[in-house]
Amino acid sequence: MRLSALVFLLALPALRADEGMWTFDNIPTKQIKAKYGVELDAAWLKQLQLATVRFPGGTGAFVSREGLVVTNHHVGRGAIAQVSTAKADLVKDGFTAAKPGDEIKVPGLELMLLVSSDDVTARVNGAVAPGTPDQEALKARRNALADLRKAEEARTGLTCEPVTLYQGGEYWLYRYRKFKDVRLVAAPEVQVASFGGDPDNYTYPRWNLDFALFRVYEDDKPYRPEAFLPFTQTPLRAGDLTFISGHPGTTYRGQTLAQMRYAKEIGIPFQLANLARQRGALEAYAKTSPEAARVSADAIYGISNGQKRLTGQLMGLSKPESLALVASREAELRAAVVRDAGLLTGSGGSWDKIAEAVARQKALLKEYTCVGTRGCTLFGHALTLVRIQEQQAKPSAQRLPEFSDGSLKATRERLLSPRPVQVGLDQARLAWVLREALEQLGVEHAYVKAVLGGRSPEAVAQAAYAGTKLQDPAFRKQLLEGGREALASHQDPLLVLARQLEPFQRSLHHQWEEQVQSVFAEHGGRIARARFQIHGKSQYPDATFTLRLSWGAVATYDTGSGTKAQPFTTFLGLFDRHEGWGGNAAAAEDGAFTLPERWLKAKPRLALETPFNFAYGCDTVGGNSGSPVVNLKGEFVGINFDSVLEGQGGYYVYDAATKRAVAADARAILETLRKVMDANHLANELLAK
Amino acid sequence: MRLSALVFLLALPALRADEGMWTFDNIPTKQIKAKYGVELDAAWLKQLQLATVRFPGGTGAFVSREGLVVTNHHVGRGAIAQVSTAKADLVKDGFTAAKPGDEIKVPGLELMLLVSSDDVTARVNGAVAPGTPDQEALKARRNALADLRKAEEARTGLTCEPVTLYQGGEYWLYRYRKFKDVRLVAAPEVQVASFGGDPDNYTYPRWNLDFALFRVYEDDKPYRPEAFLPFTQTPLRAGDLTFISGHPGTTYRGQTLAQMRYAKEIGIPFQLANLARQRGALEAYAKTSPEAARVSADAIYGISNGQKRLTGQLMGLSKPESLALVASREAELRAAVVRDAGLLTGSGGSWDKIAEAVARQKALLKEYTCVGTRGCTLFGHALTLVRIQEQQAKPSAQRLPEFSDGSLKATRERLLSPRPVQVGLDQARLAWVLREALEQLGVEHAYVKAVLGGRSPEAVAQAAYAGTKLQDPAFRKQLLEGGREALASHQDPLLVLARQLEPFQRSLHHQWEEQVQSVFAEHGGRIARARFQIHGKSQYPDATFTLRLSWGAVATYDTGSGTKAQPFTTFLGLFDRHEGWGGNAAAAEDGAFTLPERWLKAKPRLALETPFNFAYGCDTVGGNSGSPVVNLKGEFVGINFDSVLEGQGGYYVYDAATKRAVAADARAILETLRKVMDANHLANELLAK
């Protein structure tokens, strides 16, 4: 890792952002060396891999010899809420364990560490005879992967996951070590972790101290990880090259032009319209009482988050150069395929097949979307109960995906979860789900007729929630264990509704699988294989919530308003934005810009010039929340927590000019631990090498 | 002025921005009372009017009993530069007069105070017989106004200006008191006054302490103005109603739909393309040496400023609702005109006449733009010299506008100005002007043939500047005084070029006046008169760099990035943005985010929570730079210096959601005078009532 790389970077601002979320088996180290003059050796990469852990829905990293793990506050928030009590709201007030004995175990929280992985493409493809119809091929591959997983878990005792890369161009088996004793060590107040709330989400400049510290235990003792990332003592500067190791969730960059056009013209606009109506329904419910407002807040925030992300995606896809780039790459690949008889036979027709499937996707979209439980918790439980006995009686390979051997346990756990359901909110959701069906599908649609029976959506929802007992986990357990017959005839109104939904939903699911998903899987795979044959693995696969490496420099970017975003923010700006909204006393918009009293008191002690957040050109998407950002020495410099609206088009097409991730600076974490959170011992632990 | 107005405002965010730049003779006080519950009486208005002064290109206000005047640093910058010396760069380093005797007189700087005004519409229209062709009518009105002005100046001894309001719906004579002894009292460093420079221009949140203090003297003693605006001691808050009194330059809101469509589809895109090419030419020159870069910086900044403003205008016009609003208002007015026989005769055909003139404007645009001196200083002097003798020989009414009695003195002063010309930059400009003619009009165009004679634009420019002596003011004076014959035959190469340009430019100017401008003037006036007859004066006239009042509340707005701008910024944010770019030591982009050492030293003394800038919903455009912002009590709360990119569409169509002006807070001025500029005496003077 030579210092000259930095000089080089500063001189070449065009190189400030880099494309790709690369699998650790296929890091283009030569390309990195050619561009930056730095050589990432196998030991460096292994160290980073073994320090990175997967949280439910996000990423984290070992950051001390004694098993401290850092992640985003918003990734750990569910866990922090779970260990809060009526007296101690740790989400609101923050938490610091003064000594190891004060660290709070989070029941059920499990972290996963990728230990090793195998390419099983040949074995999976070997399970499919040539000429097999697409949907059967899809099932055969799923079964082959499930068998491999089962065998490998038995052999190694590790948790194994099948991974489909490159739209089916490759199949892998990833082996994870699982950590089951995870304890909360420290977290700032949510108000600081998510300062600016919904308004500032996806924006920059930003002031979010979005971190929380956990510790992994084994045998009731702090776990000593094989690898960890010490907090750096080298100040990070604009232009410095950084690396991010994490689990980006989903991207669509391998889609064909037809698929992306669909996303731009049909899919995303449809989703945005859906979200807007859903938001309207939930906001109407939230207005009915302060308690309704409180319990709806997270759901409404989630919708707003989706609206922003999709708006950013649409902005990106709508830039003429985006789809022009996709079109030219596709034309190039298709021309190369035409020149090779073997490729032509295997994948020459695949683009047209996918285009046909897109046409089917378009035709099915409205029904497939509207006929379902759509996030309504009790309706979802009801549908699970209606199906589970019949599904369990079949061989795993013939079941619906959520009842297969690999997923059944989680499905049962979800069904029996003791977590209280917000029944009022859930009823409002059901009313919305049914109203959508009525308005989008029309009063004459068979499902609408069956489920409404001439009544209004609101009346049906009201009657269902007035009569149901499904909110009681014990009742659900009783139904589950009461045998197939009893369950099949039980007249709980939500079960009755779910039975009306079931055949329609199953049929649509089947059509979607057969006419859309299996074609995308099969022919996406064929296109990927053609691409491998022509280019080798010079490209990275779409994100799949598996471990990836990206890199890029700390860098500004052009904002839409005509100025450039500063590479770093500082504590000064946190207080500027707080005071600029009038401080806690004034009407701070939605409370998004208030600060905890502890912070206002700590202000005179704080070194206000300390960097707080920074923008950097690593290629990330959701799932990279909590991912560690490291420098050339592999030291922890910050924790990723967001990326800017302007770059959300990166879900489909990467654009170096706008793709900027946002991280909380390691120095802000240390300064806060020492000066606000009374946690010098943790700051010292994080700095110890 | 009742406090309840504030409560009302906070409760009704939709009312946060208000439309209109109203003349002081026609303030809709009833409308304001109905909306805000506050009554602006005549004394309040008169006080504000008599405290507001006009600077060259901007506005200022008396802010102390002893004649202190505040304006923007960027409005006073020319004056500050003028009184700088080789040893003391007051623009760069700032200035504080420790005592009255240290205040520095700015030769030639004159301020204007509007004392009274008369509606002379009847007299001006009386000079035009019915049926007079448009261009003759335009001239007759100009002459009538010139005569009125002359007579009134002789009668009162005041400076009088004719003012055309409502596209010619009204004609006024404004009487100004002129102050000729204006002295520089204090100014911060330009780096703080324009912190963020070109990148931050037109953006918000913002941290510009864009103020300078001058003092008016009479008889070598501080002048005691009839009215002044004391600095408030009531903290300004979000939602507070504010008023701005100033001289907005030009708006186009009275244009017809045809004119606005032209602006959107032809005019602005044409100007933007022009500016982009001009910027390319000047940036290429700037790269030739550090000195070339230095002397080009202001010009390039000016182009960038224009690009941003025009981009904002185009953004506004491109919103579908903008022209839809114009179209519906126009359709409504036209329908009303059709229903009234008198109106139909007078103005029924005016929209079509204007549409025809727009078609001519489109046809002439390229030639009218490319055939001229286009900001090339010496080429401009040459054209003035080529014309001046012949023009002076004619009666004023028959001359080109810049040689008329009212303008001749200024034209001569410009010609003889001792200000040094940056010859290298000026030559680069001429090369660009000629290249534009060649590329836009084509090699076969008669003017191109005449002026280039087969040579390249660059060669012609180089030869002209190698041979000319026009950079010498003494030489220009000698030519001017040498008599018509000598001048007509002088072979200075720029005079030769200007003689080639002259007939083409004159012909195009004539066509433009006859086919475009006079039609806009005549028929714009007819439409305005129809509107008066139907609606009365319930509307405000387009801006004309004459005194106007606007009002609106301190208010946030939605930025394009998904968040809301905070109503206030503070000193904290100034240092955040500075530190976030890496401080003075790091590569701050273009130096835009550096801070003077004095500020870094003063930081520990500063109350960093002090408000710095604020965003507010007053309706402003360029010319309002330096305008005082006052509260309900008529006290000074801030000084306007910019408005945001998102609201620039307001040049054409007002949009309450995006129209936000930006001001430097009075508290930031006081804090800086006391803690940074060693000027407690001035802070005290500003607070004294």
| Residue A512 scores a pLDDT above 70 | yes
Mutate to test the interface with B, among A201, A566, A584, A595 (most CBs of B within 10 A): A566
Which residue range is the domain that position B168 belongs to? 113-178
Mean pLDDT, residues A493-508 taken together = 97
Same domain, A410 and A472: yes
Report how far apart the first and last C-alpha atoms of chain B are (Å, whole number).
19
- The alpha carbons of chain A give a radius of gyration, in whole angstroms, of 26
Give the lowest-confidence range in A619-628, B438-447, B551-560: B551-560
CATH value at residue A194? 2.40.10.120
Cα-based distances in Å from B472 to A75, A211, B345, B420, B421 = 71, 67, 57, 8, 9
Q: CB-side exposure of B252: number of CA atoms within 13 Å?
A: 24
Same domain, A517 and A585: no
Mean pLDDT, residues B324-330 taken together = 96
Mean pLDDT, residues B57-70 taken together = 97
- Is the CB of A205 inside 8 Å of chain B's CB atoms? yes
Closest Cα in chain B to A614: B580
Same domain, A87 and A120: no
- Asked if residue B539 belongs to a domain, the reply is no
Q: Which of residues 282-301 of A touch B (CB under 8 A)?
A: none
Written as six digits, the tokens of B197 are 């420079």
| Residue B177 scores a pLDDT above 70 | yes
| Residue B562 scores a pLDDT above 90 | no
Same domain, B455 and B398: yes
pLDDT tier for residue B10 given thresholds of 50, 70 and 90: very low
β-bridge mates for residue A162, sequence order: A173
Same domain, B501 and B550: no
Backbone CA torsion sign across A90, A96, A99, A104: positive
Same domain, A592 and A663: yes
For residue B627, the one-letter residue type is S
| Residue B289 scores a pLDDT above 80 | yes
- Judged by phi (left if over 0) then psi (alpha if -120 to 50, else beta), residue A69 lies in beta
Of the residues B478, B510, B534, which one is the last residue of a structural domain?
A: B534
Same domain, A262 and A214: no
Phi, psi torsion values for B67, nearest 5 degrees: 80, 15
β-bridge mates for residue A562, sequence order: none
| Burial degree of B235 (CB within 10 A; 0-12, 13-18, 19+) | exposed
Mean pLDDT, residues A474-489 taken together = 92
| Helix (H), strand (E), coil (C) string for B181-249 | EEEEEEECCHHHHCCCHHHHCCCCCCCCCCCEEEEEEECCEECCCCCCCCECCCCCCCCCEEEEEECCC
Of the residues B127, B155, B178, which one is the last residue of a structural domain?
A: B178
Out of B239, B569, B646, whose CB is closest to A580?
Answer: B569
Mean pLDDT, residues B302-308 taken together = 94
- Asked if residue B441 belongs to a domain, the reply is yes
| Residue A1 scores a pLDDT above 50 | no
- Is the CB of B563 inside 8 Å of chain A's CB atoms? yes
A397 C-beta neighbours (distance < 10 Å), count: 13
- Percent of chain A surpassing pLDDT 90: 88
Written as six digits, the tokens of B489 are 């035959």
> Quick check: A589 and B556 CB within 8 A?
yes
| Residue B8 scores a pLDDT above 50 | no
Written as six digits, the tokens of B467 are 């041979």
Written as six digits, the tokens of A537 are 């693995």
> Cα(B291)–Cα(B294) distance, rounded to whole angstroms?
5
- Is the CB of A590 inside 8 Å of chain B's CB atoms? no
Written as six digits, the tokens of A187 are 């977290």
Beta strand residue intervals within A100-140, DSSP E: 104-105, 111-119
The predicted pLDDT at position A560 comes to 73
Written as six digits, the tokens of B278 are 């001009």
For residue B265, the one-letter residue type is E
Is-contact A600 A644, C-beta < 8 A? no
- Is the CB of B342 inside 8 Å of chain A's CB atoms? no
The predicted pLDDT at position A27 comes to 95
- Asked if residue B626 belongs to a domain, the reply is yes
Written as six digits, the tokens of A189 are 């107040």
Of the residues A490, A506, A534, which one is the last residue of a structural domain?
A: A534
Is-contact A208 A193, C-beta < 8 A? yes
> Cα(A524)–Cα(A337) distance, rounded to whole angstroms?
14
Written as six digits, the tokens of A626 are 């909590």
Mean pLDDT, residues B431-459 taken together = 97
User: How much is the mean pLDDT over chain A?
Assistant: 94
pLDDT tier for residue B13 given thresholds of 50, 70 and 90: very low
| Residue A405 scores a pLDDT above 50 | yes
The predicted pLDDT at position B44 comes to 97
Q: CB-side exposure of A46: number of CA atoms within 13 Å?
A: 7
The predicted pLDDT at position B560 comes to 73
Same domain, A294 and A407: yes
Mean pLDDT, residues B646-673 taken together = 96
Mean pLDDT, residues B152-171 taken together = 94
> Quick check: A199 and B579 CB within 8 A?
no
- Asked if residue B343 belongs to a domain, the reply is yes
> Quick check: A581 and B566 CB within 8 A?
yes
List CB contacts (< 8 A) between A304 and chain B.
none
- Percent of chain A surpassing pLDDT 70: 97
- Asked if residue A605 belongs to a domain, the reply is yes
> Cα(A333)–Cα(B561) distance, rounded to whole angstroms?
36
> Quick check: A575 and B201 CB within 8 A?
no
The predicted pLDDT at position B677 comes to 98
The predicted pLDDT at position B6 comes to 34
Same domain, B76 and B166: no
**pLDDT digit string (tens) for B186-234?**
999 999 999 999 999 999 999 999 999 999 999 999 999 999 999 999 9
**pLDDT digit string (tens) for A277-335?**
999 999 999 999 999 998 999 999 999 999 999 999 999 999 999 999 999 999 999 99
The predicted pLDDT at position A689 comes to 60
The predicted pLDDT at position B101 comes to 96
Same domain, B151 and B208: no
| Residue A166 scores a pLDDT above 50 | yes
Which H or E run contains B519?
helix B518-535
Q: Which of residues 638-677 of B touch A (CB under 8 A)?
A: 644-646
Out of B201, B562, B566, whose CB is closest to A577?
Answer: B566
| Residue B419 scores a pLDDT above 50 | yes
pLDDT tier for residue A475 given thresholds of 50, 70 and 90: very high
List CB contacts (< 8 A) between B660 and chain A.
none
List CB contacts (< 8 A) between A608 and chain B.
572, 575, 608
Is-contact A551 B552, C-beta < 8 A? no
List CB contacts (< 8 A) between A593 and chain B.
566
Out of A559, A568, A645, whose CB is closest to B580?
Answer: A568
The predicted pLDDT at position B15 comes to 42
pLDDT tier for residue A6 given thresholds of 50, 70 and 90: very low
> Quick check: A561 and B562 CB within 8 A?
no
Mean pLDDT, residues B542-548 taken together = 97
- The alpha carbons of chain B give a radius of gyration, in whole angstroms, of 26
Residue A81 makes CB contacts below 8 A (sequence gap 6+) with A90, A91
Out of A10, A561, A587, whose CB is closest to B560?
Answer: A561
Mutate to test the interface with A, among B195, B572, B608 (most CBs of A within 10 A): B572
A331 C-beta neighbours (distance < 10 Å), count: 11
> What's the ipTM?
0.90
- Is the CB of A562 inside 8 Å of chain B's CB atoms? yes
| Burial degree of B519 (CB within 10 A; 0-12, 13-18, 19+) | buried
Same domain, B520 and B549: no
In this structure, the strands spanning A170-179 and A181-187 are unpaired
> Quick check: A199 and B577 CB within 8 A?
no
Q: What angle do CA A500, A502, A504 make, to 5 degrees?
A: 90
**pLDDT digit string (tens) for A560-586?**
777 889 999 999 999 999 999 999 987
Domain count across chain A: 3
Residue B528 makes CB contacts below 8 A (sequence gap 6+) with B166, B167, B168, B169, B170, B254
Backbone CA torsion sign across A108, A111, A112, A115: negative
Same domain, B405 and B418: yes
**pLDDT digit string (tens) for A30-61?**
999 998 999 999 999 999 999 999 999 999 99
Q: What angle do CA B396, B400, B404 make, to 5 degrees?
A: 35
Q: Which of residues 531-560 of A touch B (CB under 8 A)?
A: 556, 559-560
